[in-house]
Structure 1
Amino acid sequence: MIATALRERRSETIRQALAEQGLVNAGHIHLDYSTPELVEQVIQRKEGRLAVGGAVVVGTGIYTGRSANDKYIVEEPSSREQVAWGKTNRPFSPENYERLRRRVMAFLQERDLFIQECRAGADPRFQQRVRVITQWAWQAMFARNLFIHPRTFNEMIQEPDYTVIVVPGFKAHPQEDGTRSEVFIIFHPGRREILIGGTGYAGEIKKSIFTVMNYLMPQRGVLPMHCSANIGVDNDCAIFFGLSGTGKTTLSTDPERRMIGDDEHGWSDQGIFNFEGGCYAKVINLSAHAEPEIWGCTRRFGTVLENVVMDPVSRRVDLYDSQFTENTRAAYPLTSLTNIQANSMGEHPKHVILLAADAFGVLPPVAQLSNEQAMYHFLSGYTAKLAGTEVGLTT
């Protein structure tokens, strides 16, 4: 009863804060629901179905990968000199952002909201408080799986450093809103806010926080890295660089080494640390023999399976069926794995491995590089992109 009363009190505080920010009449606020509570909501709202073993199977609609060409950063005083503007970091005007944001807030009036208070960054010196606000229970479950949980009640009630507002049911009007399409992922550094709309692909939530950390960490002397990492019995750290689908998650789950993380890390003056608290593994053609740890998570209660094919009667999933997309995914917390580094931190890496999905036979299977060669290939980023990880990528 005490926990319920505290949650209701916090929900009202957040409701008032949302009203001050433009959302004056939110529906019911589902605040920091536990995984079982969120599973119940997913089923009740018919957002997904339970598979054998207890994983939740959901579909993301027509968008089954990241919409890389629909990401923007608002160009305003605090960001103007901190961002390398160009094809990757597309500028978005403050005026268009405010206009779009008002329409998003109008769309959310009287709608139920799922809110998770999360953290990004395992190193307490650099950790960011993140509030994720979503329309859908399963996306709140995704955020709960992927990010770090506050450890104490006092941490839980702290105001967020950044807020992510996710409205997959809202579609932008390009001519009116200044976007390229109906999809938008917009980071406003001054507001400390991210708007995501027009797409149900939850990977946008994860990557939006990586964008925030990419923006913040270099200003604090930390190198943000798209890599996986693990640690051996002698505390020797290894990091694995590579684009989505090149094997980072698989290699980081070596049974003889403890996983630090599978995708996003920072490298500080004291070593490396995970930005996240979970894994977002690609599971197409996954086998129990080759990758038992990840395969086991696809059969575990609390895992979110995106666009995975499931028999509607037996409720068994088929990881070899790509009828929806090649980019089938499983989102689960690190605690679902049996061999992890508890604090998600490690010393300076002794092994740096660059992964490439080389479909053209240009590279040898394994090559030992000099420092100069390693720097060259890291900057070159050679790889053959895999189908499905980004919208429109088929070969």
Structure 2
Amino acid sequence: MLDWYNCLEKQSNAQADTYCDSTCQHDHWRRGHKQICKRIHRGGNAEQYNADKKYKEAVAVAVEACAEDTKGQTCYICTQALHWKTKEGLVRMCSCRGTAGFAHVSCLAEQAKILVAEAEANNLRAEAFDKRWKRWSWCSLCEQEYHGVVRCALGWACWKTYVGQSEGDRVRRYAMNQLGNGLFEADHYEDALTVREAELAMKKRLGVSEHNILVAQGNLSNSYSQMGRLEEALQMDRDVYYGSLKLEGEEHEITLTAAFCYTASLIDLHRHAEAKVLLNKTLPVARRVLGENGEITIRMSGSYAMALYEDDGATLDELREAVATLEATERTARRVLGGAHPITGSIEKGLQQARKTLAAFAAP
């Protein structure tokens, strides 16, 4: 994906052998290839041209997916139903409810772009900069992350904004991370894997901090998992967890996130006993540090219940504990994230399965 122009060039070279003769080839280039190249050049060369194109496609998908939810609403930023310039419709897909949170992707992107530009102009410290950068993926109203195809559209918006920066520029590295996360959120797992592999290679090449390397490895392991490369995901998750534990300590958010990912990989491979041991150690820390309402805490609680009810050797008490845990977690997720959030939906499905498993176990 990031080498799109090189791929296009190789494809053109490969096709050269299929022409009748040089006249045929030149005629094709005169009528088609040159026009494509002109559009690419006007669009800021290959990466920028591709990013702009993909962004427009992603916005169209997001608007269509949100059409029913946004009917009759207006953007909370520009107060219009249709964007004044792009004529795009509205999206939401955060945790806002009622009449709150409707916006145009273009408005959200422009808002984030302005905030980041101000942070750079004022040389804000990392913590203040990161808080502004979150506007590329977090709703400023409900303070929760966007998800699904809206997150994907924002990922492309972010990438097209900073793709022209030098490779060593912080915002370009951050933008690549946003793009990978957005593609992953929209279930474009193969594309996300390509971006995340490129991101990790770039960070290693630039010699960024160990903290940033661990974050990139954690994201990459999620892509491995979704692509069915479970053993690779487990190995990387293990390395990221123990690396984070050593570097940041047990109470840091990156360590707790890594612990969740590690236990998820263990559960994927049906190593439930190991998952339960780790969760019994880390879940109380997450509840103390991040609170019951924290997204990682909610996810870890769901994983703990899954490790209980999916274990073939689960006892009646463990199955009852799994159901009770999921009932409490479902209420929290619905209150914090909303009923339409994918995390809430996942916990609801887990609760249904846990109840079925308990009922089957308790039946005569």
TM-score using structure 2 length: 0.29
Higher relative strand content: 1
Q: Which of 1 and 2 has higher RCO (CA within 8 Å, sep 6+)? A: 1
Normalised by the length of structure 1, the TM-score is 0.27
- Structure 1 or 2, whichever has the larger Rg, is 2
Judging by fraction of residues, say which structure has more helix: 2
